[in-house]
Amino acid sequence: MKTSRRLNDFDAYLGTTMNVILTKMREKGKDVINLGLGDPDVRPTERQMKVLADACLVPDNHHYPSFYSMMLLQEAIAEWYKRRFGVTCDPEAEVLPLLGSAQGLFHIHTCMLDPGDIALVPDPCYPAYNAGVKIAGGVIEPVPLLKENGFLPDLDMIDPKVANKAKMIWVNYPNNPTAAVASGSFYKELIKWASMYDVAVIADNPYSEVCFDGYSPPSFLQFDGAKEIGIEFNSLSKAYNCCGWRVGMMLGNRDIIAGIKKIKSHADRGMFYPLQIAATAALNGPTHFMEERNQMYRERRDVVIKGLREIGMEVEVPKATFYVWSRVPEGIKDSKEWCLKVLDEIAVWMIPGSMYGSHGEGFIRIALTHPVARLEEAMDRLKRFVRR
């Protein structure tokens, strides 16, 4: 079959290949601990599930949804951003619910790029950004995220000639995979830089509610001039423990939102009504469960940090996300080779940093999506492996 050439330009999402390998290992009886999985083991609240279940029992909720989502949901998103970040958005023109933020992360490239246009993409980064640029026929200009800069892009290092031609820049804080966070001064500098070069800022903020030790991540949109120059994605997946619902959102620049709406009017038939109803209730409802959930991630984080430090791995304590980003042990040159060896010998899977971009080499990402006992078991196995 003559499929398109652009299919050869990118790999399938990295989790898909690894899942096949890990499933085969489990079928052979191996007790695999998958520390690569970014899917939380926590459940939505009883209230969230009940609203969804009740909405499913209403026969009229099973029709095709309207192309555009319920205004109640758009208002709930706008109010959530107002309460949480002090951001004001017009629910009609500056808010758009998505079938998971992943849907928007994908369409944004078609919306912003013509073939040959430049997108500034952080390295390392969430892999969907690079794939999206390639599928849209755009050109990736990597922006290194270095430890010495706190894994923030050094905007002064972007060649002005490239910046002048670029159409968009991705930023994602709290960051996957590095767990780095961004301050208000970073966003202010970014808005100034993006306005000067007329580059759209595409901010991805799905970990805004997974945070510890009194830290509360900001939104890009809360800084002056943000809506004129960009948009932000967010999601119920991690914030409300419901990755499977596929409920995301974008807020901000109305021209970009109008563009994505146009693409979506052809690409999907809107969100299942019961999910729109349940998402509205969740966003308007209590949030105290997040504190307990974050406390649980914090305990897990501390177990992993302690374990890694005991075996001499250099690691920073993350303030947000459920990831730990650590250097590989000294002397290891190839993080992928090392992770595959660890998997083969002790059945613990961690994601090599190189899978997120060349500047991720020398690091690994661990997801805190397992109970403490399981993480302790993984750290014990790792200790035995490194010290043997």
Ligand X SMILES: Cc1ncc(COP(=O)(O)O)c(C=O)c1O
Among 69, 130, 172, 335, binds ligand X (CB under 6 A): 172
* Span between the terminal Cα atoms of the chain, in Å: 50
| Contact range with ligand X by CB under 6 A, out of 58-66, 101-109, 295-303, 335-343 | 101-109
β-strands 323-327, 363-367 pairing: antiparallel
- Listing DSSP states for 209-259 in one string gives T-B-TT-----GGGSTTHHHHEEEEEEHHHHTT-GGG--EEEEE-HHHHHH
Residue 267: CB atoms within 10 Å:
13
Task: Kindly state the smallest distance separating residue 58's Cβ from ligand X, in Å.
Answer: 25
Among 38, 65, 127, 153, binds ligand X (CB under 6 A): 38
**Residue 124 binding ligand X, by CB under 6 A:** no
- Judged by beta carbon, residue 206 or residue 274, the one nearer ligand X is 206
**Residue 206 binding ligand X, by CB under 6 A:** yes
**Residue 204 binding ligand X, by CB under 6 A:** yes
| Contact range with ligand X by CB under 6 A, out of 85-93, 94-102, 110-118, 288-296 | 94-102
**Residue 91 binding ligand X, by CB under 6 A:** no
**Residue 235 binding ligand X, by CB under 6 A:** yes
- Judged by beta carbon, residue 48 or residue 237, the one nearer ligand X is 237
Residue 116: CB atoms within 10 Å:
9
Among 237, 241, 253, 354, binds ligand X (CB under 6 A): 237
Q: How far is CA 159 from the centre of its chain?
A: 27
User: Mapping DSSP to helix (H, G, I), strand (E, B) and coil, where does residue 92 land?
Assistant: coil
Greatest Cα pair distance, the chain, in angstroms, is 63
Interacting residues with ligand X between 212 and 231 (CB under 6 A): none
Task: Round to whole Å and give the CA distance between 253 and 87.
Answer: 13
Task: Kindly state the smallest distance separating residue 250's Cβ from ligand X, in Å.
Answer: 11
| Contact range with ligand X by CB under 6 A, out of 17-25, 99-107, 330-338, 380-388 | 99-107
325 neighbors 179 (Cβ within 8 angstroms): yes
**Residue 176 binding ligand X, by CB under 6 A:** yes
Task: Kindly state the smallest distance separating residue 99's Cβ from ligand X, in Å.
Answer: 8
Task: Kindly state the smallest distance separating residue 27's Cβ from ligand X, in Å.
Answer: 26
Among 102, 121, 155, 210, binds ligand X (CB under 6 A): 102
- Judged by beta carbon, residue 95 or residue 346, the one nearer ligand X is 95
**Residue 126 binding ligand X, by CB under 6 A:** yes
- Judged by beta carbon, residue 105 or residue 260, the one nearer ligand X is 105
- Judged by beta carbon, residue 202 or residue 339, the one nearer ligand X is 202
| Contact range with ligand X by CB under 6 A, out of 43-51, 98-106, 333-341, 372-380 | 98-106
- Judged by beta carbon, residue 143 or residue 379, the one nearer ligand X is 143
Among 248, 252, 352, 360, binds ligand X (CB under 6 A): 248
In Å, how far are 138, 385, 387 from 337, measured between CA atoms? 31, 15, 18
Using omega within 30 degrees of 0 as the cis cutoff, is the peptide bond preceding 371 cis? no
145 neighbors 152 (Cβ within 8 angstroms): yes
| Contact range with ligand X by CB under 6 A, out of 96-104, 183-191, 253-261, 338-346 | 96-104
Residues in the chain: 388
Task: Kindly state the smallest distance separating residue 152's Cβ from ligand X, in Å.
Answer: 15
**Residue 36 binding ligand X, by CB under 6 A:** no
Residues whose CB falls within 8 Å of the CB of residue 293, separated by 6 or more in sequence, listed in order: 42, 210, 241
β-strands 33-34, 348-349 pairing: parallel
Tokens 């390392």 belong to which residue?
124
In Å, how far are 40, 173, 225, 287, 299 from 292, measured between CA atoms? 14, 22, 35, 10, 11
**Residue 45 binding ligand X, by CB under 6 A:** no
Task: Round to whole Å and give the CA distance between 40 and 37.
Answer: 8
Interface ranges with ligand X (CB under 6 A)? 38, 100-102, 105, 126, 172, 176, 204, 206, 235, 237, 243, 248
